[in-house]
Amino acid sequence: MNIVLFDLDNTLIKGDSDHEWGNFLVENNLVNAKSYKKKNDMFFSQYKEGNLCPREFALFSYEPLTRYKYEDLLKLRKEFFKEKILPIILPKAVKLVNLHKENNDIIAIVTSTNSFISKVSADYFNITHLLASEPELINNKFTGKLSGEPCYQEGKVSKVKDWIKINNLSNFKEIFFYTDSHNDLKLMEFCTKPIAVDPDNTLKKISLERNWDIMSLR
């Protein structure tokens, strides 16, 4: 049995779902357009540079979830997926996921994007296991707080280790991990088969130095 882990943003899809969710909120006047867009772009730049504070970003990005009823958020999420995510899903990524399914591998998406937003992508790929940052939900209402540890950098490793333990998956042969981002370096080091997918410049350099596989799904 192999375990296969996929990053979501800029790996399975050609874009960043967290950032696109922010754009969706701005374009539909669900937040203060000017100030929200400025902060959303700032956090996205910090992420790409590798110096994002995930807890600070969580407080920013989860706040809009507190403004609406859960049922209304589900409708918004459906519109968001159709408008922003569906057009950037990579056909080659779908084929790769299906190839691992045919091999009877255990598949999970491991993403820093919160579970409420990333679940629609996991559902599209028909991937049951989703390891993500978790916005706190009490009595079917988002509180705006982060529940547990952010699924980011070292936090991804912790999430994966806990998931393996809880699901009794310790008898794996290999752990594959597909990602584009240098922010996932710790998880790549943890896995036995790290694969850089259309990597950013930093990850590409590291992958070449360490002789890790590099591939494209574009």
Catalytic residue positions, numbered: 7, 9
Please give the sequence-ordered ranges of beta strands (E in DSSP) within the chain, or none if there are none: 3-6, 106-114, 129-138, 141-147, 175-179, 193-197, 213-215
Nearest to 45 by CA among 22, 78, 63, 24: 22
- Rounded to the nearest 10°, the torsion over CA 122, 54, 69, 82 is -40
How far is Cα 74 from Cα 52, in angstroms, rounded to an integer?
28
**Both structure tokens of 135:** 């916005």
**Both structure tokens of 43:** 């956090």
Nearest to 13 by CA among 120, 117, 86: 86
In eight-state DSSP terms, residue 197 is E
User: Torsions phi, psi of 6, nearest 5?
Assistant: -120, 130
Length of the chain: 218
